[in-house]
Structure 1
């Protein structure tokens, strides 16, 4: 099963992706996690993207697409995968489609959430990390979130129409309780597998 999760920052993509990954035993490939790992490791790629990530800018199509192409070529993704944070532009979606060839994408799951709720979630996530003695993500601040939401509306939101035209879009109200969302996603995927 090959899936993508769509939705603005803080929509709950990572939370739901973890549920689906466990249920279907496919790797959850978070581009944000991959890029943050590169920054933390001090790699050449990490050094080149650190400032852009902290300020909430999107990483260039060519850079992120090469990271994704390398990752989905690994053996654990052969039976399927779940992409979280990619594609973020129609150009990236086209690249993914050409990369997959005949092994087409099965579904694009979009979590739709009101921006005021997203701000509350990001503030809670940062506060929870601090309270637990952990590190707060560099992009978990209001200024960065507002920039990321603006970029999302102009560059990523068009993916809704892109995947809708292809008959691959499954939209959900991301304001719903986490367990309700998980249930709806698993139910839809079960129907998909039954075809």
Structure 2
């Protein structure tokens, strides 16, 4: 029997990580969250940390190695929820190769929001470090602008790849997170039962 894999796609501020976490928990799947994994790796690698602070993306080859290692390390997982991979059109074939190699059924979940909503949400997002609230380096306004531009230029094209090679569902990400979760659950209940 093939494993089900969901790929949550959306701009920064769309709530994709929250929704990916909720989806993985609901289904009992293992979650791959690229940002969290990369931030963890960056704690050990100053060069990577400095590179990520600029808002740039890693090479496809680097991401492929990280994802493949994660999948192999979690081979007993009942399914996966990917958040932040694939992020570019050139990473689409990497996912397709993995799907063929491991026998996955892949569904993309595209959470759609406006740039204005993304900027508003990210301007309010804070992290707690050493008991103090702070803005993440990648949530500074100039980095948010760059990341949204990179998303539109490099990530949005992956949507057409999904339409051609996998299933893709579109979710309105503008409402609050619970309403978005409800919409995802309703759509996926129909998809999984069908």
TM-score by length of structure 1 reads: 0.89
Q: Which residue of 1 aligns with 2:56?
A: 57
**Residue-pair matches, total:** 190
| SS of structure 2 residue aligned to 1:116 | helix
Tell me which of 15, 26, 36 is aligned to 1:23: 26
The whole-number CA distance in structure 1 between the counterparts of 2:158 and 2:53 is 24
CA apart distance, 1:139 = 0.6
- Choose 167-176 or 10-19, whichever is displaced more: 167-176
Q: Distance in 1 between matches of 2:90 and 2:185?
A: 28
* TM-fit CA distance, 1:76: 5.8
Structure 2 spans left out of the alignment, 5+ residues: none
Higher strand residue share: 2
Structure 1: gaps of 5 or more residues: none
Change (3 A) 1:77 1:56: farther
State TM-score, norm by structure 2. Answer: 0.90
CA contact (8 A) 1:3 1:83 kept: yes
Q: Where do 4+ consecutive residues of structure 1 move more than 6 Å?
A: none
RMSD: 2.0
Per-residue CA shift, 1:29-49, capped at 9, x if unaligned? 100000000112x1xxx3332
Deviations 1:89-130 (A, max 9, x none): 11111111102216234310011111111111111103x647
